[in-house]
A and B are shown apart, each in its own frame.
Chain A
Amino acid sequence: MNLLVVSGPPSSGKTSVILRTAAAFKNRGLKTGVVKFDCLYTDDDLLYEKEGIPVKKGLSGALCPDHFFASNIEEVVAWGKKQELAILITESAGLCNRCSPYLDGVKGICVIDNLSGINTPKKIGPMLKTADIVVITKGDIVSQAEREVFTARVTAVNPGAVVMHVNGLSGQGAYELSTLLYDEEQDIDTLEGRKLRFPMPSALCSYCLGETRIGEKFQLGNVKKVDWQESNRDM
């Protein structure tokens, strides 16, 4: 079984890209399944079901979906094996753009959209930087100039990645993407012992643990303050 880890900011078009790509896999006779990770709510599973794609969803609730992903991925793979999938795709959107759920030895795909603004590549960190393939969407609604600037900035952040443009509405580019994803040689049985490509942020403070009161004396753990002395260039 092939495993593909798809990540990207909310509403960047991950589901549309996966649906279009899965259609191309289906034409090749490859059985594809999807596990969708989200935070509070998703009904994307219905979209997959409608296309006859086996789907499972996991809501992380109070946790970050990417952390939740890391603690559940073993079971996800077991589910995919049981479904006898040729390709298992996981889809998740982190909360803060800081995490990346990619694993060593497993293709990682980052989906970002032109509409999110040209400073996005700089903002989203390891999720973009450590991806193997970057898929840029919504190119049909911004100008050619903005598309080119956006792509150039993605390349500056992740020069080693293959950058693909996919139109989630017409499907243009999805077939081409699908040819880069399936690897006949790869057969993932278990992920035991594999590693995340980049550590998740160490954000453990009292507010992570449910504190609601504001004030210095309620702030415990990994607490960081804005630097008010120097220029705020780094912020």
Chain B
Amino acid sequence: MSQSIRAKKMGELMEKYPFLEDFFLQNRLFTQNAQDFTLEQYLNSLSEEEIEEKALDIRKIPEEMEDYIRQVEEFLGIREEQSVSSLTILPGYTKDKVPESFEKLRLVPSQITSIVGPTGSGKSRLLADIEWTAQADTPTGRTILINDKKPDLKWRFSSNNRLVAQLSQNMNFIMDLGVREFLEMHAQSRMAAQPEETIRRIMDAANELAGEKFSENTPVTGLSGGQSRALMIADTAILSASPIVLIDEIENAGIDREKALKLLVSEDKIVLIATHDPFLALMADQRIVIQNGGINRILPTNSEEKVLLEKLSDMDRTIQKLRSDLRSGKALQGTDISL
């Protein structure tokens, strides 16, 4: 194929694969005036000086372009397939090589599973097993199935098709951009089909979750903790291609956690949440108890716990109301809490 891509006109290539623009840009190649050149002619037109200055290896570029086209097409193909309808964990061992006692754990989209257990008990390892689609070839010996089958290796090695998106408490925005520009950039890299519509949906969803509204022009680094978390969750739910979302706690500050989880679920994500917060743990359909590196138990959220969740939810709403009253300058009264 290398031979034929070399003979293609640059204009034709760009028309057929518009995403090549990013390839040229990231490789510091300027192609504006090269539409009528073949790739070969274009590469040969670069001066020796330019090649040295830009540290290029032009012999390899056609091959790299083909790799890039293949990767992007694979990514776009997967998006259309909607490929993950279940994720199954088959048991392995604890740190002491004791077999895990569950038979199998099958997770499906729109289902929330919480993970509880002390720090260092093996939560990261479980997540790594999922992300790597372990085939009894990691230290835990667990096996991961996707759609009840042995997973395609693309989940391990294709860089744009990550199985798991992560949201943790330590995460921050570091880019110097406004919210809108930020979302535009993310939408572009995800090759969103309708970027405008997608951005509007994310803005609406994020503002719905955040205790305090923010505008498109707010710099992402200027958002409050709650607003940042709201934007990250809305963006991950709507724009990230990863079918599984792992959340490491959502602090109870300036964000509606119930709505946040519901948003993720409504976007057909498989949601895993590592938490010790009773409200979040009970929001889940089931919880995994991890001990000494192994999955010790899997507990469905029982009816008594569901009743408890109602009460916790009231408490959560009460606290949010107090917070918003404080923000707007109201005096609080003893009767504001009725528990």
Q: Give the B-binding residues of A (Cβ under 8 A).
A: 27, 98, 114-115, 117-118, 121-122, 125-126, 129-130, 139-146, 148-149, 151-160, 162-163, 165, 167, 170-173, 175-176, 179, 198, 201-202, 233-234
Contact = CB atoms under 8 A, between A and B. Distances in A.
Contacts of B139: 27, 175
Contacts of A151: 159-160, 162
B182 interface: yes
Contact of B232 (A117, A122, A143): A143
Contacts of A198: 55, 57
A151 B240 CA distance: 13
Nearest to B188: A149
Given A140-B171, A148-B186, A173-B128, 13 more contacts: A139-B166, A143-B171, A144-B235, A145-B240, A146-B174, A148-B162, A148-B241, A149-B189, A154-B159, A155-B68, A156-B68, A159-B71, A198-B57
B26 A157 contact: yes
Contacts of B173: 142-143, 146
Contacts of A170: 124
B22 A141 contact: no
A155 B168 contact: no
Contacts of A148: 162, 186, 189-190, 240-241
B248 to A, nearest CB: 9
Interface string B128-152: 1001100001110000000000000
A20 B68 CA distance: 30
B67 A145 contact: no
Contacts, number: 131
A170 to B, nearest CB: 5
B14 to A, nearest CB: 15
B175 A156 contact: no
Interface in B152-175: 156-157, 159-160, 162, 165-168, 170-175
A136 B119 CA distance: 24
Which interface residue of B159, B166, B174, B242 has the most chain A CB atoms within 10 A?
Answer: B159
Nearest to A161: B159
Contacts of B128: 172-173, 175-176
Given A143-B173, A156-B22, A176-B132, A167 B124 contact: yes
Nearest to B242: A144
Contacts of A121: 26
21 contacts: A125-B55, A129-B27, A129-B57, A130-B57, A142-B172, A143-B172, A143-B173, A143-B228, A144-B171, A145-B183, A145-B186, A145-B236, A145-B239, A146-B173, A148-B162, A152-B189, A156-B26, A156-B27, A159-B71, A162-B157, A165-B162
B308 interface: no
A160 B67 contact: yes
A142 B64 contact: no
A142 B71 contact: no
B185 interface: yes
A117 B55 contact: no
Nearest to A115: B174
Contacts of B23: 156, 159
B28 interface: yes
